[in-house]
A and B are shown apart, each in its own frame.
Chain A
């Protein structure tokens, strides 16, 4: 794997122009984690809605993030927040680490896996806390 493949254009595009970036005015839960190995830090904000009357607040209406980090961790957060918007909590319990790596579409080394999976870990924390 060389840099050209790891930093494929889609990754770089998300890194340069991250989607859903910034702290929203309204959110139900948030969680923040950092990767002590490289100092990357990501905070995710989630707002839930219920799709039908009387149903549980289990649809992720808005998902956004803030933080700083390397291209891999920032692109992962950007892509993940795009991916999970509108999904239900139940649907997301099935979203695995492998799915996250698949979403990135790159082969990451053991050391960089922490960067690739940081945002997923933060999101899981958000979903677990409601």
Chain B
């Protein structure tokens, strides 16, 4: 197994750190950190305004990263890439902007697997508009099949479908391409529904192609993708974005402002009011360059190797309940579980005191935890920089927790 830890300063400064919480946020490679310093030290200027060289350079850099992101997810055109704060903001932008088209009795479809960020905005939108909010359930193997969608009596009237690509708790990789294809072809009463994919847990870990998936919108967060906190991406089909109302008004998003009226800029700028997180955008560009250099397939295979090893070891421990698909190929790099008789927080505390960073709680997925009949779970999540030694320490921690509490 190749050692990627050396690329990440945090592991050099804290040799004993075992970081198993990448589903919450990723660590940052030196290559990304350097790009931020370089921006602030050599061409820090606001974008799309100044006519002096460093402002031109900053502006050109932002547009270059936009193209990079478009290539990374195979968008047709860079103008389909909108820089936002994070996946949550991207989802709220779409929900707010689509609210004009939603009427009483319309159907908004979501799933039980969603992170609150892709659940609450739609639930609230439906409530305000008097629309129906339908939540698709999972099967015994913590997955969706097409029939989960087809069996819902209201699905044929769906105006909006919002679904996660990879569950942040179960790790389930959803067959979104098939789900979207089936849904779009089964709609009879009106034009096909708008589909948003929450790719916060997939973009950092596997190759994602928006045209192949066939979604209308897709969101992800930079900070889970090795970039800095505060930068995220909303992808949207150009013809839809052009018709949509702006989410935030202000500078940078206008063509002309008069006392009586304002005309808005073209996409993507119509949706980018105010000075953007330029350093964040720069860091996202560097992160994508770093990920591409290693290769998304290499990253996925690395995580599959760790998951195979981790699941094999954890399954041998008595009293462990693991949530998520049986087959490793059906899951991302996430293992959520509970130990019989021990509260998730007590497990996390014992491991935390050993320098092992895992998460305990509902992981912003309360409806899913309720569905599973639990109030909390323990979660370990992996990324490129994790290795088998991390898994060994994690297993050691679980054994220690068991010793203390039983």
Cβ contact within 8 Å between B361 and A38: yes
> Cα distance A102–B303 when bound, in Å?
45
Supposing A2-B353, A6-B349, A115-B345 touch, asked if A68 and B375 sit within 8 A by C-beta, the answer is: yes
Interface residues on B, range: 10 to 19
Cβ contact within 8 Å between B376 and A12: no
CB-CB contacts below 8 Å: B343-384 with A? 343-346, 349-350, 353-354, 360-362, 369, 375-376
Dominant SS among interface residues on chain A:
mixed
> Which one of A1, A40, A70, A112 has the greatest number of beta carbons of chain B within 10 Å?
A70
Supposing A38-B360, A68-B375 touch, asked if A3 and B350 sit within 8 A by C-beta, the answer is: yes
Contact partners of B361 in chain A: CB under 8 A: 37-39
Taken residue by residue from 58 to 95, chain A's Cβ proximity to chain B (1 for < 8 Å, 0 otherwise) reads as 00000000001111100000000000000000000000
Contact partners of B376 in chain A: CB under 8 A: 38-39
> Cα distance A45–B355 when bound, in Å?
40
Cβ contact within 8 Å between B343 and A71: yes
> Cα distance A113–B405 when bound, in Å?
20
A101 CB, nearest partner CB in chain B, Å: 16
Q: Is B404 an interface residue (CB 8 A)?
A: yes
Q: Is A15 an interface residue (CB 8 A)?
A: yes
Dominant SS among interface residues on chain B:
helix
Cβ contact within 8 Å between B346 and A71: yes
CB-CB contacts below 8 Å: B376-401 with A? 376, 400-401
Taken residue by residue from 1 to 14, chain A's Cβ proximity to chain B (1 for < 8 Å, 0 otherwise) reads as 11110110000100
Contact partners of B345 in chain A: CB under 8 A: 38, 70, 72, 112, 115
| Count of A interface residues, CB-CB < 8 Å | 20
> Cα distance A75–B228 when bound, in Å?
40
Q: A3: which of B349, B360, B369 is its contact (CB, 8 Å)?
A: B349
Cβ contact within 8 Å between A3 and B404: yes
Interface residues of A (CB under 8 A from B): 1-4, 6-7, 12, 15, 37-41, 68-72, 112, 115
Interface residues of B (CB under 8 A from A): 343-346, 349-350, 353-354, 360-362, 369, 375-376, 400-401, 404-405
Q: List 25 A-B contacts (CB under 8 A).
A: A1-B353, A2-B353, A3-B349, A3-B350, A3-B354, A7-B346, A7-B405, A12-B404, A12-B405, A38-B361, A39-B362, A39-B369, A39-B376, A40-B375, A41-B375, A68-B375, A69-B343, A70-B345, A71-B343, A71-B346, A71-B405, A72-B345, A72-B346, A112-B345, A115-B345
Which 10 pairs, one residue from A and one from B, show the smallest C-beta to C-beta distance?
Answer: A39-B375, A70-B343, A3-B350, A70-B345, A2-B353, A3-B353, A39-B376, A71-B346, A70-B346, A38-B345
